[in-house]
A and B are shown apart, each in its own frame.
Chain A
Amino acid sequence: MLIYIARRLALLVPVLLGVTLVTFALTRIIPGNPIDQLVSPLASPEQRQELIKQHGLDKPFYDQYVVYVKDLAHGDLGTSFTTSEPVLKDLSSRFTATFELTLYAMVVAVLVGVPLGIASAVWRNSWVDHVSRVLAVTGIALPVFWTSLTLLYLLFFRLHVLPAPYGRIDPRVTPPPTWTGLLTIDSLASGHWAALRSSVEALILPVAVLAFAVMAPIARITRSGMLEALESDYVRAARSLGLSLQTVVLRHGLRNAVLPLITMIAVVYGYLLGGVVLVEQIFAWPGLGRYVFTAITSSDYPAVQGFILYATTIYVLLFLLVDVLYLVIDPRIRRGARAA
């Protein structure tokens, strides 16, 4: 079985190489001289010429790509124009902020979406089903940046129930000592109640907006997975044995429906990674999204490219995790893996 996982990891390499190739190709299709991406527009012609040679931009495409990959292997994603720091360092330091946001959004989406999907399937065509389907369609259709702005206006400006969008925590509150990087966990662990309260308040709106957007596909896939499971022979047999509805739905139905759900969670995380670019700016959230938003508006190419690579790598690794989970849950795949 470990061999199976190792093989899956090995298959990752060509995928990641492919990703780097596409990202690299993107840098080369920018109209104009590629040197402009690596050099601040304020450099003099001599400096440019020097840097062209230095960066090997006079070499053919393939050679440049090899250099690019070598740099990546050493963790060199270039240097940001705006921060003058290595891009990788910029990204890593902002990662936990985005992670906290996306993690909670995912958790909420699953906690709300899965029961909705189950209810939809078990009480098909009832009012529960219709309501959840309406919610699902609305969730997908509303643009996250618009929902953020509208709710911010209503709940902060108008009703004053939520704080101003100052970021992860009220600037007047002392942040907790860093342990995991997740403010909520860190505050809880160190007993900084004011920090806990403030960080939770700050999370409510962005998490709600993101969760609502991705709740729909989760509910949908749960519903369809459950419907299929509930119409299956083994569920019919379980019912014929007089097992309770709860046992049948949860231990037999849901267990089988969870497989496509896991894949959907990975796919949906991709939406979230894109969504944070839109949402973090609005909430002044100091994460990857705001970083790349600023990078885009100031033409900080290395930062943008670095972000694309970083986010996509996370996305690809997530699918690896999905594969491993499938192995854990489905004994038929385990058997295939063992035989391999």
Chain B
Amino acid sequence: MSAIAAGAARGRSGLAEHAVRVWRWARRNPVTAFGFVIIFGLIAIALLAPVIAPYGSYELNPSDILAPPSLHHVFGTGNFGEDIFSRVLFGARYDLAIGFGAVAIGLLVGCTLGALAGFLRDPVDEVTMRVMDMIAAFPGFILAMGIAGALGPSFVNLIIAISLVNVPIYARLMRQQFLVVRDSQYAMAAVGVGAPPARILRWHLLPNTWGPIFVQATLQFGYAILDAAGLSFIGLGVRLPAPEWGVMVSLGVQRIVSGEWWVSFFPGLAIAIAVMGFNLIGDGLRDLLDPRRK
């Protein structure tokens, strides 16, 4: 801390100054900062997994089946002697990728639909929103189950299923933001001055709509991981032997009653930590963007 402060004092602008500002923000918002730490940590783990994992994710040690946590196997081993710690590390890649994919696709499709509905008004608006209502009439997880079940369990289908279920959320949000901003004074002023629609879109409408959508996307990232893990747990998502956290938990179900708790525990803990991280960030962002704070 003192080195940074000294650096700033010496007049070195840019990175040092930036770092100090980030530090101060983190001290004022410790909970949100903690969320960021978690998520950056997970991203780092996902990227560095091949380097830091002591074993391969498919490496089996038949002599060491169902060994409890120890120095050799920090999280213990599973049904086939696989090292759970390494698999949890590699699992970060799967779950983060699924979360990202689901949110990205949902955002893109949803926001486009919502923007079109808000911009073009009826009949596009009415039709789009009716379709969104139809999708939203289903409980989320159950619809995802239906889609994943219909398409067949796979990594890609999982992403498709979860993203489709979330499209109405972004569509509605985007449309609402659009409707509010579209009729606002400065947008009208821009039209009055003769600015082309594309320009209005880019400079006036979009900058004001991203806030709540970003908050929602962050929260949905966590829930997407939760849904993905749940679907994989019942066999509708990523399948064995891939080291996805949900599937890993399902491997341990039978082992609970025989006392080998670690098989399910650690992958599930990873899920919880990831979801919590995104929730903390999302909540923090929401508070930050709350107009009442200003």
On chain A, which size bracket covers the interface?
35 or more
B256 and A23 within 8 A (CB): no
Our pick among A142, A164, A271 for the contact of B141 (Cβ within 8 Å) is: A271
| Contact of A5 with B by CB under 8 A | no
Chain A interface SS verdict (over half): helix
Which residues of chain A in 275-289 are interfacial with respect to chain B, using CB atoms and an 8 Å cutoff?
A: 275, 277-278, 281-282
Bound-state CA distance A308–B147 (Å) is 11
Our pick among A141, A270, A273, A282 for the contact of B222 (Cβ within 8 Å) is: A141
A270 and B140 within 8 A (CB): yes
Contacts of A145 in B (CB 8 A): 230, 233, 249-250, 268
A312 and B233 within 8 A (CB): no
| Residues A149 and B249 in contact in the complex (CB < 8 Å), given A22-B135, A296-B234, A311-B139 | yes
Bound-state CA distance A232–B280 (Å) is 29
How far, in Å, is A299 (CB) from chain B's closest CB? Answer: 9
**A: which residues have CB within 8 A of B?**
15, 18-19, 21-23, 26-27, 29-31, 137-138, 140-147, 149-150, 152-153, 157, 164-165, 270-271, 273-275, 277-278, 281-282, 292-293, 296-297, 301, 304-305, 307-308, 311-312, 315-316
How far, in Å, is A152 (CB) from chain B's closest CB? Answer: 6
Our pick among A21, A31, A311 for the contact of B152 (Cβ within 8 Å) is: A31
Bound-state CA distance A23–B134 (Å) is 10
| Residues A18 and B134 in contact in the complex (CB < 8 Å), given A143-B268, A164-B257, A308-B143 | yes
Our pick among A146, A270, A281, A315 for the contact of B264 (Cβ within 8 Å) is: A146
| Contact of B149 with A by CB under 8 A | yes
| Contact of B236 with A by CB under 8 A | yes
| Contact of B146 with A by CB under 8 A | yes
Q: Mark B217-258, 1 if CB is under 8 A from A, else 0.
A: 000001000100110011110000000001001101100110
A146 and B138 within 8 A (CB): no
Our pick among A22, A149, A304, A315 for the contact of B149 (Cβ within 8 Å) is: A304
Our pick among B150, B152, B265 for the contact of A150 (Cβ within 8 Å) is: B265
B149 and A296 within 8 A (CB): yes
How far, in Å, is B198 (CB) from chain A's closest CB? Answer: 34
Bound-state CA distance A155–B289 (Å) is 43
Our pick among A31, A292, A312 for the contact of B137 (Cβ within 8 Å) is: A312
B256 and A22 within 8 A (CB): no
Q: Mark B28-59, 1 if CB is under 8 A from A, else 0.
A: 00000000000000000000000000000000
Q: Taking CB as reference atom, which chain B residue is nearest A37?
A: B150
| Residues A305 and B146 in contact in the complex (CB < 8 Å), given A153-B256, A157-B256 | yes
Bound-state CA distance A23–B139 (Å) is 13
B146 and A26 within 8 A (CB): yes
Residue of A21, A143, A157, A311 with most partner-chain B CB within 10 A = A143
> Which of the candidate stretches B71-79, B106-114, B270-278 sits at the interface with the other chain?
B270-278
Contacts of A316 in B (CB 8 A): 137
On chain B, which size bracket covers the interface?
35 or more
A277 and B264 within 8 A (CB): no
Residue of B151, B256, B271 with most partner-chain A CB within 10 A = B256
B235 and A29 within 8 A (CB): no
A26 and B147 within 8 A (CB): yes
B279 and A26 within 8 A (CB): no
Our pick among A15, A21, A149 for the contact of B253 (Cβ within 8 Å) is: A149
Contacts of A146 in B (CB 8 A): 249, 264-265, 268-269, 271-272
B276 and A137 within 8 A (CB): yes
How far, in Å, is B227 (CB) from chain A's closest CB? Answer: 9
Contacts of B64 in A (CB 8 A): none
Which residues of chain B in 130-162 are interfacial with respect to chain A, using CB atoms and an 8 Å cutoff?
A: 130, 133-135, 137-143, 145-147, 149-152
Those 5 A-B pairs whose CB atoms lie nearest each other, nearest first:
A146-B268, A274-B141, A270-B139, A18-B134, A141-B276
B145 and A308 within 8 A (CB): yes
| Contact of B283 with A by CB under 8 A | yes
18 additional A-B pairs beyond A22-B134, A22-B135, beta carbons within 8 Å, are A15-B137, A18-B130, A30-B152, A137-B280, A141-B276, A142-B275, A143-B230, A143-B275, A145-B250, A150-B264, A150-B265, A152-B256, A165-B257, A271-B140, A273-B139, A274-B140, A274-B145, A278-B234
A282 and B253 within 8 A (CB): yes
How far, in Å, is A147 (CB) from chain B's closest CB? Answer: 8
A-B contact list, 15 entries, CB within 8 Å: A18-B130, A21-B134, A138-B276, A141-B276, A145-B250, A164-B257, A273-B142, A274-B145, A277-B145, A277-B234, A308-B146, A311-B142, A312-B138, A312-B139, A312-B143
| Contact of B261 with A by CB under 8 A | yes
